[in-house]
Structure 1
Amino acid sequence: MTDLQRNARTLLDLHTAPEILVLANVWDVISATTVTAVPGVTALATASHSIAATFGYEDGENIPLELHLDMVGRIVRAVDVPVSMDLESGYGDAGATAAKAIELGVVGGNLEDRMKPLDEAVAAVEAVLKAGRDAGIDFVLNARTDALVLADEDADRTALLDEVIRRGQAFLAAGAPVVFVPRLVDRDEIRVVADALGPRKLTLISPPGAALPARELQELGVARVSTGPFTQRVALTALQDAAADIVGGGVLPASTRALN
């Protein structure tokens, strides 16, 4: 078994284990090595929003793919745990983008549907999974539906959840091991979607001030929870607060650790 195959198997097993997989998303080498030094961290996921921001780009495939991949490759080479990449919506060719990521050692990834017609979204899922098979691995695709992200504020919630479930079930039928539903935070709605998709099939993001604790999500049958761009925002909040303190005549926090 190659290292690539081993990492892919490990990542898949982490998604199907009884314990929820908790991922603090990273955006560069120092954030990756800092997170992996935390006891209990068994895998990493990159955040496309955060990587784009690092280079001064807006989110949404505005960062050039090669620059995005270069940073992800640096992260993969710096750590010894499986890495999942945020593929955004595939940069126009989801299969080819996934293949390039796999060449760097990536063994899983998010793929946004951006509410394209379902047959197109399913075809993109199939293309990514084929890229994995062509490389000899079971690529751990976290197939994302943007049904809640792109919905109108006054949209009917029951209809929205029905669409989430319809798309999620289609992605699972196409071979995706898990389905990612951003902005799903209500306990009862999570239960409805998790029950419809099946145990250990739903993954979520943990927005500050709105998310349920990982322990409760595990009890609801959620497979994975990640942090997206919010971990970078935590770091930037600490940076801005420290800058304000020292510019205002204070000093840096005594609790600062030498992590670089």
Structure 2
Amino acid sequence: MTRWVCAFCGPTESKRTKEHLWPTSLYRRVVALLDGGEQKFWVASLDKALPNEPTIRDVCAVCNNGELSTLDNYVCQVFDRDFSVIRERGEKVELEFDYHLLKRWLLKMSYNSARINGSDVPVFQPVLPYIMGQGLSAGRNVKLFLEMTYPSEIPLEHTQAGMPTTVRPVANRVGFAGYETPTGMKLVRAVHLRSFSFLLAFLPTTASAGSSRAFVEEFLSCRPAARELRASMSRVALHCDGIDCWTSLKSGMTHRLRRK
């Protein structure tokens, strides 16, 4: 059999399979919650929403049906328990989670998005062993944060007669989020699961403990409603008061890395 390069494990003779941006098992859950509504997928490289889920054919059967499937199954369990519920502004939320399973899945989703959109693929190469469960040290330079997204009014200039005037966080998305700092706008990776917005920041592999702490302090000062998730934690409590849904949607369409 001809050898080819799997996006996750490298050179292989295993069967080539199709990788969905959103796992089929999770997509079915999302569609069921729409109650007949339409689920669209925003593709930054095309600058538009598509009715069909983006896919990429660069993952081997061993990875797809093994470790990656394990991560998908975990997130589906948490989705059924917590992510499926739309939270209202000010609501107290407590999330129980397995830090490494969650972060590995979020990195997998972001890596899928990077390959589909041809953006920041190289930054994921050092964390591939971590995504595949082959060692925890490879994921230490990635900081994970969570903030809540709440329903909000649509600005009048964007409303149309007969259309809803509010927007709720039902659009699951993978992309980027921007945040203002004293030195300008910076970007982090973002995975939005209904009311839960997970933010991934990639620090240099050579970053010291002091510089890592300084980054976390700066980030949380810019997004005070966010919480850092750490390996020592199994649950987090926070208020649903992070970012309004309209701003979150606009930010996701505005902040991106251009194809190189």
TM-score by length of 1: 0.27
> Which structure ranks higher in relative contact order (CA pairs < 8 Å, sequence separation ≥ 6)?
2
Structure ranking higher in strand proportion: 2
Structure ranking higher in helix proportion: 1
TM-score by length of 2: 0.27
